[in-house]
Amino acid sequence: MESVPHTNSDTNAENPTPHLKNKGLLITGLIIAMLFGALDGTIVGTAMPRIVGEFGGLGLMAWLTTAYMLTSTVVVPIAGKLADLIGRRVIYVTGLIIFIVASALCGMSQNMTELILFRGLQGLGGGIMMPMAMIIIGDIFTGKQRAKWQGVFGAIFGLSSVIGPQIGGWIVDAWNWRWVFYINLPVGILAVILIAFALPKHKATGKVTFDVPGIVTMIVGVVSLLLALTFGGKDYAWSSWQIIGLFVLAAISLISFVRIESRAKEPILPVRLFKNKVFTTINGVGFLMAVGMFGAIMFVPLFMQGIVGISASASGTVMTPLMVTMIIASIISGQLVYKLGVRNQMLIGMLVMAIGFYMLSSMGIDTTKLMASSYMVILGLGMGLVMPILTLALQESFPKSDLGVVTSSSQFFRQIGGTFGMTILGAIMNHKSTVLLEHDLEPVVKQLPAESSQLANQMTDMIHTNPQGLYSSLLNPETLAKMPKEFVEHMVPLLKNALVTSLQNVFQIGLVFVILGAVLALFIGNMKIAERKSRKKGDKPDDGDLATGMA
């Protein structure tokens, strides 16, 4: 297995940040920043109905999420490289300030267009913040301690997914939706003070060169790809000129990006990293895991609403066991990896995820909430074993000079994988549903009496364009209660059968991606996280302190 020698030109191996005097304050600041940054991704969803109720613009609602996703994804590798070039503190504090200012602007928005623009700005700050915590943990800890803290921070990220919707609901009910954004201000300011005070200032060693052509081509390429994946098959047909044009633009830009990066003095994402098997293999596992993970998070609530027959809010509680188990497993994983090694733990985690997906694919009409929740526990266990060590393994395999770019790459490929997963699995869901509903439901709809022609036309249109919306509207318990008895008796069984079959197909495809991730994990090599050695002052540092044993 190819490895990269460990070299720390400006630090010793005993302590990557030797002059750090306020480690406790710094960790407190990192925890606060990560928690409120991660919370923003789940808190805002609760406020969406109130925002649309005040501003209108239902058709633009998806852009509140899309704008944040685009900017936060694009800026991740740029932030990681800049952190390596000009220092952690200036980049992290800049990201925090952008996030705080954007949060204030979001809260003061007067229409949907303003809110979307400010959410995009907020995404820039969020995309800088999220990898920086992991980069700094990589700086101040090594070996076993690094594994422990990566697990803790992974657990904090998972915790935000559990408590976010509840906190968002409480804020919206107690005050109004604007406080979902304003709440970031005092917490963010506290994080800025702690991090700016405790994190040492970077000392520049020479002229800093920015890879402007690389930044531009990467932004154009990634944004075009994400837009094509987001709108393809939903807002525009996959064969439409808009989607094909976006894919072509993405391909041209990304090819240009690779050519530019191979020649740049300080590339944003060095091409040489992809020649390293650890880098490509671990990021590949992270990508494939994210495809499956987002598939589960996206489609399990639909199953619970449509088949089990619980409300939208109650269906969200089914995901709680997944997140709680993931938190616990993330904390434990930081200790286990020291004994099992990276490859073994990653393989075990991916196989546990595969078992969870297999169980999800077996869910049927008779599945209960308790059964679905138990499957979520298994899935969360597998995810928790894998997620923290993706970043850890990369940090242990590269010198400090590359720490920022390799750490941010882990999050970058996972975010791209999540977008890819939601798009591909959503397209599979819609295609399978359309085929089944055209065969079974559409003939019944056409037999509706003339006075129901408007309903029949709406249903026929949704069968072909938005079957997920059809499921959500017609299988909601509150909606069903208003429907004629004859309609419910004839059509609901057909809808439920189509939904079950379609979701089984989705989870089977998700299982394939997870199994591919498990196979890829076999190629990582016999990588061990070494416990830091004690050493007297003046001893020469050796690679064992940051060690990875590679076979």
Q: How many CA atoms lie within 13 A of 237 on its CB side?
A: 4
When mean pLDDT is compared across 99-108, 132-141, 447-456, the lowest value belongs to 447-456
**Burial grade of 525 (CB within 10 A; 0-12, 13-18, 19 or more):** buried
In the DSSP assignment, the letter for residue 318 is G
Element (H, E) at 548: strand 548-549
pLDDT at 7: 36
pLDDT at 238: 81
Work out the pLDDT band at 448, boundaries 50, 70, 90. low
Write b or e for each residue in 84-99: b if 16 or more Cβ atoms lie within 10 A of its Cβ, otherwise e: bbebbbebbbbbbbbb
pLDDT per residue as tens digits for the range 364-386: 888 888 888 888 899 989 988 88
Question: Taking a C-beta distance cutoff of 8 angstroms, is the pair 426, 297 a contact?
Answer: no
pLDDT at 174: 79
Q: Fold identical between 20-199 and 273-551?
A: yes
Question: Taking a C-beta distance cutoff of 8 angstroms, is the pair 343, 389 a contact?
Answer: no
| Two tokens, residue 513 | 């991606």
pLDDT per residue as tens digits for the range 484-499: 676 667 777 888 888 8
Residue type, 213: P
Position with higher pLDDT, 393 vs 295: 393
pLDDT at 452: 63
Q: Which of 453, 85, 30 is nearest to 267 (CA)?
A: 85
Element (H, E) at 529: strand 528-529
- In angstroms, the CA 116 to CA 247 distance is 24
Work out the pLDDT band at 541, boundaries 50, 70, 90. very low
Give the homologous superfamily in CATH for domain 20-199: MFS general substrate transporter like domains (1.20.1250.20)
Can you say whether residue 135 is alpha, beta or left, with left for phi > 0 and alpha for psi between -120 and 50 degrees? alpha
Report the alpha-carbon angle 354-360-365, nearest 5.
160
Work out the pLDDT band at 550, boundaries 50, 70, 90. very low
pTM for the predicted model, two decimal places: 0.76
Beta bridge partner(s), residue 528: 549
Domain ranges of the chain: 20-199, 211-265, 273-551
% of residues, the chain, pLDDT over 90? 12
Element (H, E) at 528: strand 528-529
Handedness of CA 227, 394, 75, 187 (dihedral sign): positive
pLDDT at 67: 83
pLDDT at 536: 39
Domain boundaries 273-551, corresponding CATH code: 1.20.1250.20
Mean pLDDT for the chain? 78
pLDDT at 368: 83
Work out the pLDDT band at 205, boundaries 50, 70, 90. low
- In angstroms, the CA 390 to CA 380 distance is 16
Residue type, 331: I
Position with higher pLDDT, 314 vs 436: 436
Work out the pLDDT band at 13, boundaries 50, 70, 90. very low
Question: Taking a C-beta distance cutoff of 8 angstroms, is the pair 191, 28 a contact?
Answer: no
pLDDT at 311: 62
Q: What is the three-class DSSP state of 155?
A: helix
- In angstroms, the CA 384 to CA 389 distance is 9
In the DSSP assignment, the letter for residue 238 is T
pLDDT per residue as tens digits for the range 138-184: 777 776 677 777 777 777 776 776 677 677 778 877 788 888 888 88
Work out the pLDDT band at 317, boundaries 50, 70, 90. low
Work out the pLDDT band at 483, boundaries 50, 70, 90. low
pLDDT per residue as tens digits for the range 212-238: 888 889 888 888 888 888 777 777 888
pLDDT per residue as tens digits for the range 346-362: 999 999 999 999 998 89
With a CB cutoff of 8 Å and minimum separation 6, the contacts of 432 are 501, 502, 505, 506
When mean pLDDT is compared across 69-83, 389-403, 446-460, 508-522, the lowest value belongs to 446-460
Tell the residue number behind the tokens 């952690």, with chain if given. Answer: 88
3-state secondary structure 471-489: HHHHCCHHHHCCCCHHHHH
- The stretch 58-63 carries a mean pLDDT of 70
Check whether 535 has a pLDDT greater than 60.
no
Check whether 98 has a pLDDT greater than 90.
yes
